[in-house]
Structure 1
Amino acid sequence: MNDQQERAAAAVMAGQAVYTRRTLDLYDLVVLGLSNALIWKCPTRRLLAHYNEYVADTHLDVGVGTGWFLDHCRFPTDRPRITLMDLNPVCLERASARIERYAPKVVRANVLEPFELETGPFDSIGLNYLLHCLPGALERKAVVFDHLKPFLAPGGVVFGSTLLAEGVERSGAARALMRFYNAKEIFSNQQDSIEGLRRELAARFEQVRMEIIGCAALFSAR
């Protein structure tokens, strides 16, 4: 591994290391209950509606957080087949326990690197609030779509959301909190923009939809 690869690997580990059992205990309240509505200006109920619009009966969720959205969204079947993917074992543990009723499969992997899956293909792949946590510019982070596409079923959809720093309206509080999170390497989105995200999606998918709510971009691609 060369120096650049070592730095990239270290940045990936730093970005996910903040999610401990203690921080996950507060995540739903702080992020979903407060920050989304008051800071990012994209209410959690709108992100949930995005899930409800696109989630399918065979679903891969990447960057699972606490599993709140999978716990609350409306699947088109009573027995969805769900695979959870994350680099952080604590997140996987929390999310899989939360949706234990669906008997999800669990995969620990770095989505920035090629990976293998025993499950799939998937009719939907979700990346909620993942991209702004990955290190590097959007051009580099967009490799996640290249790694995920082989596991997408014909006619399937990749959907998700991310917080942007350029081309969106941000309050003073949003700017300050993003600066803090970027300094702590929790976020890496200083140059993430609407056009950059649209360009990376359009380079890989034929149909792309984007909606900007506050400083969040909600996207879907087929």
Structure 2
Amino acid sequence: MTQSSQAGAAVYSPLTLKLYDGWVLGVSNRFAWQCPTRKVLQPFFNRHVGARHLDVGVGTGYYLANANLPATTQVTLLDLNPSSLEAARQRLGRPDTRVVQHDVFQPLNEEQVAVCDSISLFYLLHCLPGTMADKAVVFGNLKSRLADNGVLFGATILGDEANHNGFGSKLMAVYNKKGIFGNRHDTLAGLRSALAQHFADVSVELVGKVALFSARSALR
């Protein structure tokens, strides 16, 4: 069966996007996933973003908007949901921002996205269906758009193995039942293995219930 990111993307309507920052980046990250946005996730993003950047699964554009990017930074936004793309584009406020509506389970070509120095996937993988082995195809599709010295990086909420607290367990149950999440079986080892299929240099660390990862030296 061909995988699709449609279900996880569909939840992001203009209304839910207005609530996203406060609920997900504020409350949930701190109390459920135990990985604070401002202290952990934003600094991690800032350390890795490059001069030609592709943001995949854009949310509200929070990380890009708060990264103090130089005016010369070239940004491409990629998401399946047009509401997310428009919200992120408006928030970033850069007239030269490129917007691409695309399913990450499908291959990319140079006409859609030029070669980039960095590619970010923040809170995308746990919204995708299937096992981490199934999600590895996403890395395969994206690596073709990465420069030889570029970095792919991101963050994802792990599944049952992470031993969630009461609040997190309730959110996990609801989100997975509704198809917003597809991460019950996502593990740190599974993520590392999926990245290693496509990159020679892989780093994965756990903060709270969130895996922060970076990968370089794409295997062509």
Q: Is the 8 A contact 1:81 1:102 kept in 2?
A: no
**Deviating 4+ runs (over 4 angstroms):** none
How many pairs does the alignment contain? 214
Distance in 2 of aligned mates of 1:111 and 1:93: 18
Q: Which runs of 5+ in 1 are unaligned?
A: none
Verify: 1:165 aligned to 2:159, yes or no: yes
SS at match of 2:152: strand
1:138 paired with 2:116, answer: no
Distance 2:96 2:21 in 1: 22
Q: Greater shift after overlay, 190-199 or 107-116?
A: 107-116
Could you say which residue in structure 2 is the equivalent of 1:123?
A: 117
Q: Separation in 1 of the partners of 2:163 and 2:178?
A: 23
CA–CA distance in structure 2, aligned partners of residues 116 and 154 of structure 1: 16
Looking at structure 1, the residues matched to 37 and 189 of structure 2 have their Cα atoms a distance apart, in angstroms, of 24
Asked if residue 43 in structure 1 is aligned to residue 36 in structure 2, the reply is yes
Unmatched segments (≥5 aa) in structure 2: none
Q: Is the 8 A contact 1:54 1:157 kept in 2?
A: yes
Correspondence for 1:108: 101
Q: How far off is 1:117 after superposition?
A: 3.9
Q: Distance in 1 between matches of 2:198 and 2:148?
A: 14
The question of 1:92 aligning with 2:85 is answered yes
Q: CA deviation at 1:201?
A: 0.9
**Deviation sequence 1:45-102 (CA, Å, 0-9, x none):** 1110111110001000000000010000133x32200000000000001001111226
In the alignment, is the contact (CA less than 8 A) between 1:169 and 1:214 conserved in 2?
Answer: no
In the superposition, the TM-score normalised over structure 2's length comes to 0.93
Query: In 1, distance between residues paired with 2:181 and 2:161?
Result: 17
Which SS does the other structure have where 1:114 is aligned?
coil
1:72 aligns with 2:71: no
Q: Give the TM-score normalised by structure 1.
A: 0.93
* Deviations 1:23-61 (CA, angstroms, capped at 9, x unpaired): 000000100111000111000011101111100010000
Residue 210 of structure 1 deviates from its aligned partner by 1.2
**TM-superposition CA deviations, 1:170-208 (whole Å, max 9, x none):** 212111110110000000001000100011112211111
> What is the CA-CA distance between 1:166 and the residue it aligns to?
4.1
Q: CA RMSD in A?
A: 1.3
Deviation at 1:167, TM superposition (A): 3.7
Q: Is the 8 A contact 2:135 2:194 kept in 1?
A: no
Kindly indicate whether the alpha-carbon contact (under 8 Å) linking 1:41 and 1:213 is maintained by their aligned counterparts in 2.
Answer: yes
Contact 1:80 1:102 in 2 (8 A): no
